[in-house]
């Protein structure tokens, strides 16, 4: 019992951090009701597949230009991995996102895994830039690996010092840092406009997210 209590407290603290991060990034639910979201799940998953098919074509086209240190940047939540089950369990309250992130229950989209595998086969570096706070970075990495997205890849998480309402300054700065190190960011994939704003990528792909919007 004494061992379980500290773990429970740690999870509670991390959950509080995750909830604060969701609020800090000005994340809001869409107007779609839980019933509407559930009814549209199949179409949503199909659209994710279509988005990654587009990403694959764009990547291959950019590789024909023989770039140096070719790299793709991906967001994690609702881009590489889905938090659908955690959302569904709480009628799509935003707390579901925090729960999945903290407990490592996010599930990789099959299309995302296929895209990452394709990129690796083409000798393209994988970089994840997530809005998850630094305190949860180890959990995000563990979840990615558990879902079959193994290294090598780089993972950048939002520093505690970044308390702005928008993720754009942080995410764009992270991409610029990669470019400064010599990476040619051929493609940037995300589910939010804030994942893609700010440049440093030759091409972008915006995936659908019917559940929430982040600034």
Calculate ∠ Cα 183-51-198, nearest 5°: 45
Q: How many other C-beta atoms are found inside a 10 Å radius of the C-beta of residue 138?
A: 11
What are the tens digits of pLDDT across the range 133-157?
888 899 999 999 999 998 899 999 9
Report d(CA 4, CA 186) in Å as an integer. 46
DSSP 61-104: HHHTT--SSEEEEE--BTTTEE-HHHHHHTTT-THHHHHHHHHT
The model's pTM is 0.87
* Class of the domain covering 4-208: alpha beta
Question: Which of 187, 214, 55 is closest to 132 using CA atoms?
Answer: 214
Residue 21 has pLDDT above 90, yes or no: no
């Amino acid at each position: 019992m004494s061992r379980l209590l500290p773990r429970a407290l740690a999870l509670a603290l991390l959950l509080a951090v995750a909830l604060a991060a969701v609020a800090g990034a000005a994340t809001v639910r869409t107007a779609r009701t839980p019933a509407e979201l559930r009814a549209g799940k199949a179409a949503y998953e199909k659209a994710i597949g279509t988005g990654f098919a587009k990403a694959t074509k764009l990547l291959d086209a950019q590789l024909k230009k023989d770039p140096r240190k070719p790299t793709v940047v991906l967001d994690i939540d609702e881009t590489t991995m889905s938090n659908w089950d955690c959302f569904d369990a709480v009628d799509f309250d935003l707390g579901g996102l925090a729960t999945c992130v903290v407990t490592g229950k996010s599930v990789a989209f099959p299309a995302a895994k296929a895209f990452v595998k394709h990129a690796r086969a083409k000798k393209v570096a994988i970089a994840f830039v997530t809005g998850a706070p630094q305190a949860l970075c180890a959990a995000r990495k563990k979840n990615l690996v558990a879902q079959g997205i193994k290294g090598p890849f780089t993972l950048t998480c939002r520093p505690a010092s970044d308390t702005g309402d928008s993720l754009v300054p942080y995410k764009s700065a992270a991409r610029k840092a990669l470019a400064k190190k010599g990476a040619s960011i051929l493609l940037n994939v995300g589910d939010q406009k804030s994942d893609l704003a700010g440049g440093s990528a030759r091409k972008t792909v915006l995936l659908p997210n019917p559940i929430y919007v982040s600034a």
